[in-house]
Amino acid sequence: MTELRAETPNQTQPTTHNNTSLAAPFALTPDTPRIYVACLAAYNNGHLHGAWIDVEDEESIQDAVCGILKTSPIPNAEEWAIHDYENFDGVTINEYDSFARVVEIAEFIGNCSGFGGKLLENYGGDIEDAESALERYNGEYESLADFAEELTESTTKIPKTLKYYIDYKSMARDMEMNGDVFTIETGYKEIHVFWNN
C-alpha cells in the first residue's frame, strides 16, 4: 500500500512504499506517474490537505484517498480532487478524472517507450484510437527517409546501378503528404513511424 506524504502539490519528493505491497502492474521508478489528491472540504476551508499517490492500480489509489479523507482537518470529509500530477508524458489529467482513466493512461504511457503521451495527444486523448495506432507501428528511425529506404529495399529488388539515384527524402515526404504514414518525433533523430490505415 502506498504510504501517504502530506505535501503541497509543488513538492516533488518521491513517496515511499511499504515492502509488503502487492506487485504493481508496472515497475515503480522515479518516473512513475503520480497524482496529488486533495481533500476538497479542507481546501474549501483554507487548508491544504492531500498527498502524492503513485499510480499503481485503482484499488491502491482509492485506499490512499480514503486515508486522506479520514485524516482531514474537516470532519466527515467525502470529496476529493486531483490538484496536480507528474510523469504523464505531457498528457493532461483533469481534476475529476476517474482513477480508472488515470491508471489506463499511466499503463498506456508505460507501455509505449517514450512516445505514449504524444500518441495519445495525436488522438485527442482517446486511448482506443491510440492503441489501434500501435498495431500499425513501424518502429523508430532517425528520419522518415530512413524508413522509406528500409521499406523499399525490403519489398523491392533494386539494381545496384540505380540504388544511389533513388530520392528517399522525396519518397518519405510524399508518403507523409499523401497520408500513408504519420510520425511522432520524440527527440533529435527519434522519429516513430505509423501507418495511417
Which has more pLDDT, 18 or 103?
103
Which has more pLDDT, 171 or 31?
171
Closest CA to 77 of 39, 37, 38: 39
Q: What is the mean pLDDT of the chain?
A: 86
pLDDT in tens, 60-80: 999 999 999 999 999 999 999
Predicted confidence at residue 62, as pLDDT, reads: 97
pLDDT in tens, 124-144: 989 999 999 999 999 999 999
Domains in the chain, ordered, with CATH? 34-112 (3.10.20.480), 137-195 (1.10.10.1190)
Predicted confidence at residue 87, as pLDDT, reads: 93
Q: Do 74 and 40 contact (CB within 8 A), yes or no?
A: no
- Read off the pLDDT band of 29 (50, 70, 90): low
Q: Is the pLDDT of residue 28 over 90?
A: no
pLDDT in tens, 79-122: 999 999 999 998 999 999 999 999 999 999 998 878 999 999 99
Residues 6+ apart with CB under 8 A from 29: none
Q: Is the pLDDT of residue 163 over 90?
A: no
Lowest mean pLDDT among 57-71, 135-149, 153-167: 153-167
Predicted confidence at residue 112, as pLDDT, reads: 87
pTM (two decimals)? 0.75
